[in-house]
Chains A and B, each alone.
Chain A
Amino acid sequence: MISQIEKLLERVEKPARYTGNEMNTDVKPIGDAEISFAFCFPDTYEVAMSHLGMKILYHIINALPYAVCERVCMPWSDMLEAMKAEGVPLFSLESRTALNRFDIVGFTLQYEMSYTNILEMLSVGGVPVKAAERGDADPIVVAGGPCASNPEPLHAFIDAFMMGDGEEVIVEVVDLLNDCKKKALPRAERLRLLAGIEGVYVPSLYRAAYNADGTLQSFEPTDPAAPVTVKKRFVRDMDTAAFPDTIPVPYTQIVHDRIMLEIMRGCTRGCRFCQAGMLYRPVRERSLEKLMEMAEKLVGSTGYEEISLSSLSSGDYSCLSALCEQLMEKLSPKRVSISLPSLRIDSVVKDSLAQTQKVKKTSLTFAPEAGTQRLRDVINKGVTQADLLAKLKDAFEGGWNSVKLYFMMGLPTETKEDLEGIAQLAKEAVQTYYSVPKGQRAKGLRVTCSASVFVPKPFTPFQWCAQDTMEAVKRKQMELRGLLSAVRGVTFHWHEPSVSFMEACFAVGDRRMADVLYRAWELGCKLDGWNEHFHFSLWLQAFADCGIDPAFYANRKRDLEELLPWDFIDIGVTKRYLKLEYARALEAQTTRDCRLGCNGCGIERIKGLCKLCE
């Protein structure tokens, strides 16, 4: 007999998304484990399998002798329809177990526009979508990841959030829930106990009240088990932190189909729009020896042909040249190439450029973010035009012909001059290429200029700022397109303003956004991160149905004294510091890289955590 799932696979696009059996995924039988964890990635297989965090936690949970972790991804629309029509519940890749048969269902929150997928996955997986409707027999639904730093729009669907680095807290959560399961404790008791773990936020144990103008009036625990302030968790030492020496190797092509070697966590730059830069403080490097050991093990267990050095700012890694050299030497017999993904233009990269080209030439990415020095100072992007052009020249002389330039529009204090500066910079990039003698440069220049829309993010100095209205964004995009069309050799990419608008609503949203999310999902919204599935009109209807004005979230400048929905979380960096940084931004005053001296961001309060501010 051919199973029902097998029959569905005959009918859908890319069936290999659902078949599992990849190398390094033959984990223990689910029936043998005391407790089971479904690691849910709320996007398609190709996106999910490109995510390093999932591979780390998958490895950590499966290393626990009593637990098993299996992967669950968001099916594509054709598969979803087929599953619903045939009554097949959402299942795990490893053992094809239905989602509601797991003890713990864990989501990673990477992107606001995947929130509807969480509701859809719970629903198709047979788990009550609303946390309040779950019973003792239903799984405990947990979530973590960068977007958990403002958990409120998801408070109605997630039983418990984990704040910060997941490596340690996930083990404590699984451990505790395993204990609860043995004791057959009721759900409410399990949640109360979870709230006692540092870094865990159980939203049902808190109450929010609002002022007449819609702003938050108060936010407090309703249960003594819940802490007033939820403290983010930190991995102290990256060398001793758990890291997989074997990771799943997909059969089908995924977005990032390579080994991601996390060389460090955190960034010292302090760009004021960047949430990751604030959330992942302090900088914690892995040692050269540890990285070499990891790289060798991973190449041996995966056979991957490419390694990327992954971090927020790989160019800042203190032993970058030595690392590249040693990796090259060790891995060239296996013809493994090395790529540096988030290359910073002000890093000492020339040496590493010479190294990477030995094996393979890929496109180089630079992120000046803003078009003028004034605005780059406002956002504290400590690079100058001269820097950028010098690095571009190095790259073109080194034989690169393809560069990507990333900008943001709608940044606080932006003027017409700043937009024109973007076009000017693109133009000078092209001129730099032509300034390299013909014989020395590679043929076929390609400059890609991308301009995304500024989205205010919690825990950044710009968390109080308004996003440009969609009309303003569209006007600016038209203008920039006009300016760039005059520059030969440049391709311009821009983002759909309505998507950025929705991102802002969720990024800085409060508990009432949960109603909008639920309504939008009821109206059929899902896979919103994919253009062909994003229906802005349905979102507007959801806002209208809930009587909520989206501009209140996206386009409103917040008062510095306003109680923000995420103020109860301590991520390490203090609100005082964010305010200081915001004030400096408005005066176009830069703040030094914290490797040059401690700026007192708040991390120093945690003894021994930051090696730089000791």
Chain B
Amino acid sequence: MLNSTKNWTAVRAGLLIVALIPVTMFLLVVGNVIWNSRMAIATYGLGNFFSAKISGPFSAVYTPGQYGLYPAMLGTLLVVLLALVIAFPFSLTLAVAATEFSMGWLGRPIELLLSIFSGIPDIIYALLSVFVVTSFIRPKFAGIQLADSLIATLPGFPKPMNAGTLPLNQSTLLGGIFLALLIIPFMAPLILDAIRNVPQQLKEASLALGATRWFTLRRVILPGALNGVVAAVTIGLLKASGDVVISSWTIGFIKDNGLPNPLWDIFERNAPLTSTGAGLVGGLYGASPSMGPGFSAASFSALLLLVFAFAIIGLANLTRRWLSRRYQS
């Protein structure tokens, strides 16, 4: 640390100027989103955003100027929670298997594999989703053996017209599965580090008092590693809510028929904010992206995502502070 010397050298000034570039970039990027969403807010108002149905460039009835983001917000919540519910047990068991329970030889390979998997781009996961569709989603959830007419006559099936729109290649469930695959390699190492950083004396004291390893894991190690668990959940939420490619490919772009009927219907194409924004800007099927009201609405959905992300970060910081205070006292 050289900051004890207060003198301003040329090197220090130069480094400071360089260090201000990322800050400027951040401010410009965030400012861009806020500046562009002003038109959407001014034209439609916040209330209309939450109630109006979306009519994007690709819906059947295209009436520009109605962008209700309420279904998209629900979609983000659904798919992120689903991804987290799928990813968390796997991350936790990966971390525990790599550190505790006397499996020293398992730790290094698991860490290497996780760091390799964390480099896989999201577009690859999106491309791979077709294999899960053909081997899991279609036989299990779409009644592939049933002809459409037979689906229509099934007892208790409410909407016979819906038979053609069963989840075949796009649904929140599929998106949740692949977002979980995306975030597991980022969540598990954080929990793993936290488990490693639990003081060795605590573990040894617990074992010396006659507790089993399982008891030590549940009552000593995992409470001690709660900090890492909070960090892992945070990064999982941020990555899952921010990803555009997987949610566009596996869920679809725009939910244009209002909210799903049971609100938790994970078999529908309930597009989250990210892919709704991507769809509103356009640039698909050979078209060129538009800078009109769709762009403004997309900026507003990006702004909502930013607010969500910083709320999550703030909440995580508060939780971490509360945990450390409780852990010390």
Judge: A and B partners, yes or no: no
